[in-house]
Amino acid sequence: MVGLGNPGADYSRTRHNAGFLVVERLAEKWRAGWSYEKKFNARVARAERDGRRVLLCEPQTYMNSSGDAVGAVVGFYRVPLSKVLVVVDDADLPLGELRLRPAGSSGGHHGLESIEQRLGTRNYARLRVGIGRQAGARQITGYVLGRFDSTEAKLVDKVLNVAADQAECWLTAGIQKAMSQFNGVVNGSETEREAK
């Protein structure tokens, strides 16, 4: 399971690092410790879930070269693409919306473009975490590299928890269940989501 983001304190908790934030939430939940692995240029956390070994990965390559780290990890551990999930921010989805898909285009996301190039395919699952965009702004770099503001903090915390739950559901129950149960807008009520 790969979370995409940019390494370093300058980028910590920025919108573009939503992928990092989700896998960090999972590592915390699973009590899995992170270590830097030079051969992958990635932070890795290992966990055991339902008798299966799970690898959480944060490329330390910067977003545009994420494929280098992902390709190295997938190749070294011979991970089948059906067992790869990439968690990524998406400025085209409003803040609070989650969208898991079994495959698809990069949608202009440079991290996904890099992974697609390195793996030679679009056929891997991706969980897009909506971060929204500034109304009327054409250039979004400053926005995605900015931190969530205080008015968004409560919703962001909820979204990270639900995204982590969705990733866990993908792992244990499969992609169809994870899509039908969690795709859409995260709202305040757990019971509303379960009733879907």
111-161 pLDDT, tens digit each: 999 999 999 999 999 999 999 876 655 656 667 788 888 888 899 999 999
- Please give the pLDDT value at position 136: 59
The catalytic residues are: 16
Average of per-residue pLDDT across 168-179: 96
- Please give the pLDDT value at position 196: 43
Percent of the chain with pLDDT over 90: 77
- Selection from 187, 186, 176 nearest residue 129 by Cα: 186
Q: How far out from the chain centre does Cα 3 lie?
A: 4
Under the phi-then-psi rule, with left for phi > 0, alpha for psi from -120 to 50, and beta for the rest, what region is 117? alpha
Average of per-residue pLDDT across 92-105: 95
pLDDT at 174 over 80: yes
Q: What is the DSSP string of 92-158?
A: TS-TTEEEEESS---TT-HHHHHHHHHHT-S-SEEEEEE----TT-S--HHHHTSBPPTTTHHHHHH
- Please give the pLDDT value at position 31: 96
CB–CB of 46/60 below 8 Å? no
Please provide the distance, in angstroms rounded to a whole number, between the alpha carbons at the two ends of the chain. Answer: 26
Which of helix, strand or coil describes residue 17?
helix
pLDDT in tens, 31-82: 999 999 999 999 999 999 888 899 999 999 999 999 999 999 999 999 999 9
- Please give the pLDDT value at position 183: 97
Whole-number Å distance between alpha carbons of 104 and 116: 10
Rounded to two decimals, the pTM is 0.91
- Selection from 187, 179, 176, 56 nearest residue 128 by Cα: 179
pLDDT at 192 over 60: no
Whole-number Å distance between alpha carbons of 45 and 57: 7
